Structure 1
Amino acid sequence: MAYELDLSQELSMVDPVFHVSMLRKCIGDPSHVIPTIDVKVTKELTYEEVPTAILDRQVNKLRNKEVALVKVLWRSPQVEEIIWEAEEAMKSKYPHLFESKDLVQGC
């Protein structure tokens, strides 16, 4: 109930055997092929999305505390995504996003 796939050399660190439940029928379309050079896939088969802007801010009230959230616009070479993230985590990792936001609020 498994298939062994003939993977490209750049995916040599991936086990080529997949259970049938993980496979889907695919009709090839050359316009959907994304070269891994454009995506910059790491050895761990991950890539980094870049936050480009803070769109909104809100505070969620829990029983005993408040959690500040920011709506972040993330971009990768092929996808644009908007996700609510914890404000403190975003400030520590990407302080440059908040510097420009503070300048706008100060005017």
Structure 2
Amino acid sequence: MSPFVASRGRRCRSSVGLFKVGDIDLIGPELVYEAIEKVSLIRERLRMTQSRQKSYVDSRRRDLEFEVSDRVYLKISPMKGVMIFGKKQKLIPRYVGPYQILKHIEKVSYELELLNELAPVHPVFHVPMLKKCIVDPVSIIPLKGLGVDETLSYEEVPVEINDRKVKRLINNEVDPVTVLLRN
């Protein structure tokens, strides 16, 4: 697929494609020269677009490199809209650990020494899943009791209902409930 078709969803309407193969008298060197100029213009604009997109990505990219035996936190993904440790959205712990790096696999992947709770998880992780750890025993979040599964996500389970109120609206009644969640 040509770049024009990919970006516009239709074929380019240049004068080169309007003629049939037998119409030699209508095609001259100036039409071929015009088509070559258009192709070079398209290539130049694609290059400009690529460099702009690359500059956007590079401004947010962080080049992290770790050494063997460094300690790192591992990123986990909480379920959306679930309260964890009595906290919502921004305050939810996003990293667990720290874990020690055993081996440098490739330029951007590392093998970690995981605990028994994460035995089903493959121990090799990409750099965006890791965060450098400055060892502080207070900041260690235990994985035990979180219920992290092999996809590194966890779910909160309701334990009991604390409060129930009936709220009257104009046409109907709403029954909001306050629930105590595990963890």
Larger radius of gyration: 2
> Fold match, TM over 0.5?
no
The TM-score range, normalised by the shorter chain, is 0.3 to 0.5
* TM-score, scaled to structure 1: 0.42
